Amino acid sequence: MGAHARALTEEKEPIQPKKKSSGFGKWAGGIAFTFFIAFLGFLLAKAPGFDHVGQLASAIVIAVLYRNILGYPEMFRSGITFSSKKLLRFAIILYGLKLNIGTVLSDGLGLMVKDAGVIIFAILLTVWLARLLKADKNISLLVGVGTGVCGAAAIAAIAPIIKSKDEETAIGVGIIALVGTIFAIIYTVLRPILPMTDIQYGIWSGISLHEIAHVALAAAPGGQDALAIGLLAKLGRVFLLVPLCFIFMYIMKNKNGGENNAKIEFPWFLIGFIIMSVIGSYVLGTHIPVSDGFMNGVASLTTWCLTAAMVGLGLNVSLRDLRTKALKPLIAMGITSIALSIIAYFIA
């Protein structure tokens, strides 16, 4: 009877509803964990020095240190993966609200020609320098795109198309945040001594700096006109992110004689990005009145989701790999950023 009872127990064991809830708990716990690290990054960004770096880069630093000191939190892997994949795409979709298509097309067409030149120059020079330095190809391409377009958002959009690993994406975002912040501070220091009008200074900042936040940081000392034209120039680069993604899709599909055709997934989140851009440009505020508080709330949600996603990516970074993979792409991007700033200065 004892053996029979044990057999009955063993037969019932596969039906374990608690495991399901436990799986959900680990998934939810992983998402909460990434937002907790994002919150720590938010607090760290208030500290002197880190206030120029920003929440996103601060959170990545904390995530990388956590991984390399305490190890990867395996029990939360499903939730962390959700943050680094799904929340990342959701953040890019929301990011589309920042792009006012009407303003770019009506006032920024001339700037967009310069923006297109900046993007082509930044990507090609970074990739060429990476080859000379024998740097990691994926990381170098990501930082080249981030330098040319719009920093972390551009890297996040291109990464799945070129099949970048999570750690490569995180390293690329970290490099962009570091170099972009340094350049933005240098711009503010140089502003009083440069023989440029406010408008010229704003254009220079907008067509050469990495993130929208970097443009805002650098252009603000030039006054409202400099800030407005700088952000307009930057929005032109954001606008060009969509066609750039499709160009990379075409390149990847035709790489090696078309062998990779079946491996490239269509980046549906870009459709969401376009839809949100259209809504933000032609619906919200025009047909549907919205307050500044609402738009600020959406911007905050975008930042938090993007930060949580980057935490998920940062948890995959090994410092040993960082030493071996990051230095050469950093050098390539640094040289490209200097060259881009000099050229942009003369065409602003």
Query: How many alpha carbons lie under 13 Å from residue 75 in its C-beta half-sphere?
Result: 6
Ramachandran class of 16: left when φ > 0, alpha when ψ lies in -120 to 50, beta otherwise = beta
Alpha-carbon gap, residue 78 to 66, rounded angstroms: 18
Res. 52: pLDDT tops 80: no
pLDDT classification of 43: cutoffs 50, 70, 90: very high
Mean local confidence (pLDDT), 262-286: 77
Mean local confidence (pLDDT), 176-182: 83
Instruction: Give the tokens for residue 341.
Output: 């700033």
- Residues 219-229 pLDDT 10s: 878 887 888 88
- What would the 3-class secondary structure string for the chain be? CHHHHHHHHHHHCCCCHHHHHHHHHHHHHHHHHHHHHHHHHHHHCCCCCCCCCCHHHHHHHHHHHHHHHHCCCHHHHHHHHHHHHHHHHHHHHHHHHHCCHHHHHHHCHHHHHHHHHHHHHHHHHHHHHHHHHCCCHHHHHHHHHHHHCCCHHHHHHHCCCCCCCHHHHHHHHHHHHHHHHHHHHHHHHHHHHCCCCHHHHHHHHHHHCCCHHHHHHHHHHHCHHHHHHHHHHHHHHHHCHHHHHHHHHHHHHCHHHHCCHHHCCCCHHHHHHHHHHHHHHHCECCCECCCHHHHHHHHHHHHHHHHHHHHHHHCCCCHHHHHHHCHHHHHHHHHHHHHHHHHHHHHC
> Sign of the CA dihedral 180, 184, 189, 193?
positive
pLDDT at 112: 87
Single-letter amino acid code for the residue at 17 = P
Domain limits, the chain:
25-75+82-347
The CA-based dihedral angle spanning residues 138, 169, 340, 131, taken in that order and rounded to the nearest 10 degrees: -20
Alpha-carbon gap, residue 196 to 205, rounded angstroms: 12
322 CB burial (10 A radius; 0-12, 13-18, 19+): middle
Q: What angle do CA 271, 273, 274 make, to 5 degrees?
A: 65
The torsion angles phi and psi of 284, rounded to 5 degrees, stand at -65, 130
pLDDT classification of 133: cutoffs 50, 70, 90: very high
Q: How far is Cα of residue 335 from the mean position of the Cα atoms in its chain?
A: 21
- Residues 154-174 pLDDT 10s: 998 899 899 888 889 888 988
Res. 140: pLDDT tops 80: yes
Average per-residue pLDDT in the chain?
A: 84
pLDDT classification of 15: cutoffs 50, 70, 90: very low
Q: What is the pTM of this model?
A: 0.74
The torsion angles phi and psi of 321, rounded to 5 degrees, stand at -70, -35
pLDDT at 42: 92
